[in-house]
Amino acid sequence: MRKSQIRIRTLALFCAVAGFTFAQQTPFSIQPPPAAKPSDAEQEELMKAVNEAGNSSLDLIRTLEKYLEKYPQTVQRPDIEFTLAKAAIENKDHPRTVKYGERVLSRNPEDVLILDRTAQALLALGGPENLQQSIKYARKLEDLIQGMGKADGNDAAQHQEDRDRALARMVLVQSRARAMLDEKLEASQLAARAFEIYPSEESARVWSESLVRMGREPEAVTHLAEAFAIPDPHSTDADRQTDRQRLGELYSQLHGGSEKGLGDVILEAYDRTTAITNLRHQKLMALDPNSAAANPSEFTITGLDGKKLKMASLEGKVVVLDFWATWCAPCRAQHPLYEEVKKHYGKRDDLVFLPLDTDEDHSVVQPFLEENMWDKLVYFDDGLARLLQVQQIPTTVLLDKHGKIASRMNGFLPENFVQVLTARIDAALADK
């Protein structure tokens, strides 16, 4: 996680007074002055403006801009301008995205979303000044992403996938901007780098376009064939059709108006890009072996002692998954009831209880178990909570002897937890 947190704003912020500082006071500390508050009239008018906009981002832009015209010195301007930037992004309003995005970035230069969208909006607007500013923001976001290092922890593969894709997108923004500034060599080099970071239909196509501008059509054909052939879930049928049409035109120009032999070029590109994407998939799998798991039996979970447990090894047994966390007060209240159910069944060979901790920080778990004198036979969920769409803690999921979900209990049910869970376990054990 980055040292500086990206602010996340909601409309609710506009209906609340400024926050307070909760820093611990000491006899030697100098306390800051109380945060400024909007007047009652301002607050009432802002609430009215937000309510009038309803769910329309267009109306929200109109009403908030009118509000800022009337109250240009409002203490809520930073939050309002952040909301205006997000509304402009939603509406693909490039001038307003730049206008309010740059104001947000002047206060928080590391806002990932605003950096990304402002860079792209400046690129879309064009013009030397806008393009140079687009490159500046794209480089800033590139540095931030690279500073994160490799992803780890739960969903590491997906996080790394998202980072690589965002990084390639920012390098492509720079490539396109350089091309529009007629810096052909730099544009080509950046496009090639984007493809290396995240091989995709878009990065291959931009690379091809940059080579055409340099008069290197044979190489352009090779990479446009890759754009057409590469497995890319983000590519649309329209993208593929455009790539195919342009590929045919380029190839024909180089071969006397004929497309003979183009099929072989495409097949070679398919083999090449399939190997590239397979290698990428293997690297992501090394970060998170569970990233491709489609059901619980395909998961491997990690114990507190670091040992791995393959869920497939539990086939033929009823499995009780107890999703909990150290910060969860209801989990603590439920724990003795959970232990009561375990004691009721003793050491049966056809029944397994798996406490699955969902804390992001694994280092807090062992001290918690020792302090509360809980059994240390605990596993980390390692993404299983995401797969099973666990929305609240505690949650108890029962898997039948075939690894299928037999039942689930969301939240803490103190009145009848033992009775309900026991009845459901009995039913699963009786089922052949």
String of DSSP letters for 292-332 = T--SGGG-EEEETTS-EEEGGGGTTSEEEEEEE-TT-HHHH
Percent of the chain with pLDDT over 90: 65
Q: CB atoms < 10 A from the CB of 237, how many?
A: 7
Bridge partners of 353, per DSSP, are: 320
For residues 408-412, average pLDDT? 89
- pLDDT greater at residue 371 or residue 13: 371
Q: What is the pTM of this model?
A: 0.70
In the predicted structure, residue 305 carries a pLDDT above the cut 80: yes
Structural domains for the chain: 35-279 (1.25.40.10), 296-430 (3.40.30.10)
Residue 155: left (phi > 0), alpha (psi -120 to 50), or beta? Answer: left
In the predicted structure, residue 4 carries a pLDDT above the cut 50: no
Confidence of residue 14 (pLDDT cuts 50, 70, 90): very low
Is 372 in contact with 339 (CB distance < 8 Å)? no
What per-residue confidence (pLDDT) applies to 36?
61
Confidence of residue 10 (pLDDT cuts 50, 70, 90): very low
What per-residue confidence (pLDDT) applies to 137?
98
The first and second tokens of residue 299, run together, are: 């998961």
What per-residue confidence (pLDDT) applies to 202?
96
State pLDDT tens for residues 65-104: 999 999 899 889 999 999 999 999 999 999 999 999 999 9
For residues 102-109, average pLDDT? 96
In the predicted structure, residue 49 carries a pLDDT above the cut 80: no
For residues 340-360, average pLDDT? 92
In the predicted structure, residue 107 carries a pLDDT above the cut 70: yes
- pLDDT greater at residue 115 or residue 431: 115
Confidence of residue 3 (pLDDT cuts 50, 70, 90): very low
For residues 202-224, average pLDDT? 96
* Averaged confidence pLDDT in the chain: 87
Is 396 in contact with 409 (CB distance < 8 Å)? yes
Is 428 in contact with 400 (CB distance < 8 Å)? yes
Confidence of residue 154 (pLDDT cuts 50, 70, 90): low
- pLDDT greater at residue 211 or residue 376: 211
State pLDDT tens for residues 242-287: 999 999 999 999 999 999 999 999 999 999 999 999 999 888 888 8
In the predicted structure, residue 54 carries a pLDDT above the cut 60: yes
In the predicted structure, residue 143 carries a pLDDT above the cut 60: yes
State pLDDT tens for residues 16-34: 322 322 233 333 334 444 4
What per-residue confidence (pLDDT) applies to 1?
38
- pLDDT greater at residue 186 or residue 361: 186
Query: Amino acid letter at 67?
Result: Y
For residues 116-120, average pLDDT? 97
What per-residue confidence (pLDDT) applies to 27?
32
State pLDDT tens for residues 232-254: 888 899 999 999 999 999 999 99
For residues 54-69, average pLDDT? 89
Taking each continuous run of H as one helix and of E as one strand, the counts in the chain are 16, 7
